[in-house]
């Protein structure tokens, strides 16, 4: 699996269950959300701007996409978690399995971030992102073509080093008949 | 990382937070537990018996170990989840990164099970187990030497195919001073 195939497999609407683990405090958080992943043309204004602000030539951009989410946490049920970001893979020369991933907004901090990705032999997408005061590792893989998993791990670099991990199970949203057939058979 | 190193890194006491996701029902389960992983000599009676019952020559067994757990679920707080099993890696000839893993008890069904394991280039231990009516995939990797993650995915093969996923964050139990130093610095 290379980054083009990986993005293709991810396009669609996903129903997500996410568990957050605050490791030091042994706390749990539960979030249910809907995630939409849509592909973008490489000449979309946002893609061009993200490449520019990262000093990357637009011709290197492959399979850019937008991810939007809307969810509810059990920590604050009155609050709706909502957002979206643009992601642009910049593969290494002659190797689509490895490169940079530009993002208009990171997970650990709400500023733009560029991470380093690689795709392992078993098709797991691994993304490492260094922030000013934290480092994040995210792993994404498919259980079936319609079930996607994401595990992430964030550690802060200051002396109060907070560790959090989270895990999302994501099921592709299909019509009711398609859903029962495809989840069971794939 | 090969299976000998992987078992060595796993030996110890772990404080675990596990989230279970019932995908069809979109339910969450939270379990806190303590896990002890201890190495066993290859000539331990339980190891010899497990090899025998699987028709495996004891000379092929590498780094056998015992895993015990004691936990509490938010689904039934009065119930204590407790158990233990013996695990015996049987690597392929000349390849410690791939082989069988014999277990005295499986996760999806409480009968003995043998799974197929391999360790990826990034050090993730992936275990696939086929049961009579289900298939399980488990992935284990280290965030730091003292933080271990386990993600598992079970699908049943009957027409009511229930999908469950679970994710555990495990922190090595150390003395208080060791803990603050090692979790932050590793």
Helix residue ranges per DSSP H, B18-91: 45-53
Q: In the CATH hierarchy, which fold is given to the domain comprising B3-185?
A: Lipocalin (2.40.128)
Tell me: pLDDT of B162 over 70: no
Instruction: Write b or e for each residue in A114-146: b if 16 or more Cβ atoms lie within 10 A of its Cβ, otherwise e.
Output: bbebbbbeeebbbbebebeebebbbbbbbbbeb
Residues of B in contact with A30 (CB under 8 A): 19, 28
- Which of B68, B28, B72, B71 has the alpha carbon at shortest distance from B165? B28
Name the interface residues of B facing A (CB cutoff 8 Å). 15, 17, 19, 21, 23-24, 26, 28, 30, 32, 120-122, 124, 126, 137, 139, 141, 143-144, 147, 149, 151, 153, 155, 159, 161, 163, 165, 167, 169, 171, 183-184
In this structure, the strands spanning B80-92 and A163-172 are unpaired
Question: What confidence score (pLDDT) does residue B183 get?
Answer: 53
Contact flag B23-A17 (C-beta cutoff 8 Å): yes
ipTM rounded to 2 decimals: 0.86
Residue B174 pLDDT class (50, 70, 90 cuts) = confident
What pLDDT, in 10s, does the model give residues A37-90?
Answer: 999 999 999 999 999 999 999 999 999 999 999 988 777 766 668 889 999 999
Interface size, chain A vs chain B, as Cβ–Cβ contacts under 8 Å: 93
d(CA A106, CA A114): 8
Q: Greater confidence, A149 or A156?
A: A149
- pLDDT surpassing 70 at residue B101: yes
Mean pLDDT of all residues belonging to chain B? 87
> Residue B10 above 60 pLDDT?
yes
> With contact defined as beta carbons under 8 Å apart, do B137 and A142 qualify?
no
The residue among A19, A120, A145 with the most chain B CBs within 10 A of its CB, best to mutate, is: A19
Is residue B70 pLDDT above 80, yes or no?
yes
Say whether A19 and B28 touch across the interface (CB within 8 A): yes
CA atoms of A132 and A112, how far apart (whole Å): 12
- A23 pLDDT tier (thresholds 50, 70, 90): confident
């Amino acid at each position: 699996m290379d980054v083009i195939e990986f993005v293709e497999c991810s396009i669609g609407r996903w129903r997500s269950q996410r568990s957050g683990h605050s490791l030091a405090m042994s706390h749990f958080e539960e979030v249910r959300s809907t995630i939409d992943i849509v592909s973008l043309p490489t000449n979309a204004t946002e893609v061009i701007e993200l490449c520019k602000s990262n000093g990357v030539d637009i011709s290197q951009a492959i399979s850019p996409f937008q991810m939007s989410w809307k969810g509810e946490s059990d920590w604050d049920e009155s609050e709706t978690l909502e957002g979206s970001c643009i992601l642009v893979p910049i593969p290494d020369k002659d190797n689509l399995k490895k490169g940079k991933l530009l993002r208009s907004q990171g997970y650990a901090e709400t500023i733009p971030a560029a991470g380093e990705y690689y795709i392992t032999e078993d098709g797991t997408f691994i993304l490492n992102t260094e922030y000013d005061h934290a480092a994040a590792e995210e792993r994404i893989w498919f259980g079936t073509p319609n079930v996607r998993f994401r595990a992430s791990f964030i550690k802060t670099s200051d002396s109060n080093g907070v560790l959090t991990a989270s895990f999302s199970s994501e099921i592709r949203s299909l019509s009711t008949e398609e859903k029962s057939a495809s989840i069971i058979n794939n």
